[in-house]
Structure 1
Amino acid sequence: MDNSILVVMKLSLLFGPLLIGFIGVGVNCYIAYRDLNAILGVFKKSNIVTSYGDVWGNGSFSARCVLASIVSGNVLFPRKHIRNGSLDPNELACLPASIKTRMRWSVGLMFFGVISLVGVVVVAEFLKWLAGA
């Protein structure tokens, strides 16, 4: 195989997961910019959302991005929060499906990007260890 093809393959293995993770971050930024006020408007009785929303809801753009990821995690994995009473299931049902879909994409892409990048690093270290042994 040509050496330049190997270099391109190695770079795509490294930067592919990073690109996927950054796309997830971009979707999260879109949620923070466009949808966060609607999300905070839906959750009036849910302590897990209002406690963070009161602190970071009117803050800087980066604070809103952090708030969007916290709320996305709470909305996508709600069992524990519903069980302990900090998330109202009726309000969760009122959240528009389009926003939930964007949250799924954001969390899924960021999670896939991080896990893939960790996998690439582990395989690279394993191959380095095999070459040294």
Structure 2
Amino acid sequence: MTFTILKLSLFFGPLMVALTGVAINCYIAFRDLDVVLGNFKNSYAITSFGGGGRSFFSRCILASIVSGGVLWPSRHIRNGTLDPEELARLPVSIKCRMKWAVVLVYSGVICLFAVFIGAEIFRWSAA
């Protein structure tokens, strides 16, 4: 019984962490995406993705793409596709939410892969 609970928590723990990041990303798509796209008028790295559909799913995908571009801007700034002044004008609260969403999704997925790899190693060593 205890081993089953341990196995379930090892699987659902990282999954819940990743889904929390997805939920934060959905919140950004629903509430903050218009502010973000309105802030980046001259940045091709952001506006090139902004012309997509207006469905909730496309807004979530767009929010995750923009979050990656905002959190790791060095390549885009070097290429000239992201304006540093526009990036500096982005509200800190939105940047913080973007950071939390990306960190939670990545850490949940990495931990989930680690659990699966550990389970496979355990299965191979037990055989």
Same fold (TM over 0.5): yes
Provide TM-score, normalisation by structure 2: 0.98
Specify the alignment match of 1:75 in structure 2.
70
Residues in 1 aligned to 2:103 and 2:33: alpha-carbon distance in whole angstroms:
19
Question: How do residues 1-133 of structure 1 correspond to structure 2 at under 5 angstroms?
Answer: 4-56=1-53, 59-132=54-127
Provide TM-score, normalisation by structure 1: 0.94
1:86-125, Cα deviation, whole Å (9 max, x unpaired): 1000000000000000000000000001000000000000
Whether contact under 8 Å (2:29, 2:56) holds in the other structure is yes
Q: Which runs of 4+ in 1 moved over 4 A?
A: none
What displacement does 1:6 show? 1.2
What displacement does 1:54 show? 1.7
Q: Percent identity?
A: 55
Whether contact under 8 Å (2:52, 2:58) holds in the other structure is no
Secondary structure, counterpart of 1:55 in structure 2: coil
Unaligned runs of 5+ in 1: none
* Larger radius of gyration between Structure 1 and Structure 2: 1
Unaligned runs of 5+ in 2: none
What displacement does 1:55 show? 2.3
Please give the root-mean-square deviation of Cα atoms over the aligned residues, in Å.
Answer: 0.6
The residue type paired with residue 45 of structure 2 is: I
